[in-house]
Homo-oligomer: A and B are copies of this chain.
C-alpha cells in the first residue's frame, strides 16, 4: 500500500457543501485506472478546511467508490486530540491507513512534533504516513526528526516534499535511508520531481496530478518501476506545462480548474476563501490540456 502510485483526489464542493456524487465518480475513475492507492483528504482534498462530520463522510465515500483499491485518509489537525478523533473516524469508515501532517498556528518545536506523532500513534490501529509539506504547514522537518518519528511503531512511510537543490535523487534517498528504518517507505510529492525521485529509488509517489489525471502519472510510475528511466523522464518533461502552472498558481488551484474544465467537478469546487484560478489561468489550463492531449 505504501509503494507505487497513490492518487490524491480533490474533495469537490458545490455551494460550500460536499459534492459526494462528483467525489465518488472521481475516486471510482482512479480505482479503475489502476493506481496503487487513493489518498482521500490530502492537501489536494482540502482536509484542513473540512469539519469532522464532512471528513468522515468523505472517507466513507472514498472507501465505497474505491472498491478493492486501498484508501489512505488524511487526519491532519492543529490539535492532537482532534487528529486522534479524525483517525478513529477514518478507520471506522474503512480507511486502511492514515496520513498526518504537523499543522501549525503557533510554531512547533521538534519535541512538539515528535509528541504529536507519538500521541496519535498510541491510539492508532492502522499504519501511518508521515506527511511533510512545509509549503502549507510551515513546519520544517530535519532528517534527524524524520528518523526519530519513523522509528515509532506504526509508521509505514514518509512523504517528502521534493528534492533539495544540489543533490541527486539517489543521494537524497541514501541520506534518508541512513536515518529511516528499512520497513518505512519513502514517497515523493511535488509532482515535478516524481520521475527523477522514482528513478533514484523512492518507493512511492504521493501524487496531486494522479488524483485528477491518473493516466500520465501511471505512465511515469510504471516506466520508472520497469527501469525505463528515460521514458519516465520524457513523460514528466512532456507535462512541463502542468508543472509550470503548479509553480505559478499552486497545484491545488490548478487541479481544481482541470477538474472543473473536464466536468469532474462543478465550478467553485474549492472551499472559500479560495477563489480558484482567474480567467487567464483557466485559459492556460485549457491550452495545456489540449496541447498535451489530456482531455
Q: Could you list which residues of chain A lie within 8 angstroms of chain B, going by C-beta atoms? A: 16, 43, 48-49, 51, 78-82, 102-103, 105-109, 111-113, 115-116, 119, 135-136, 138, 250, 252-253, 271-275
Contacts and interface: CB of A to CB of B under 8 A. Distances in A.
B272 A79 contact: yes
Contacts of A113: 273
Given A43-B105, A105-B136, A112 B16 contact: no
Nearest to A104: B136
A221 to B, nearest CB: 26
A224 to B, nearest CB: 29
Copy count, this protein chain: 2
Q: Which among A105, A107, A272, A273 has the highest number of chain B CB atoms within 10 Å? A: A273
Given A16-B81, A81-B16, A138-B138, A49 B105 contact: yes
A75 to B, nearest CB: 14
Contacts of A48: 78, 105
A258 to B, nearest CB: 16
Nearest to A80: B272
A136 B106 CA distance: 6
Contact of A273 (B43, B102, B272, B275): B102
A95 B48 CA distance: 27
B275 A106 contact: no
A198 B113 CA distance: 38
Q: Which among A81, A115, A253 has the highest number of chain B CB atoms within 10 Å? A: A81
Contacts of A109: 275
A115 to B, nearest CB: 6
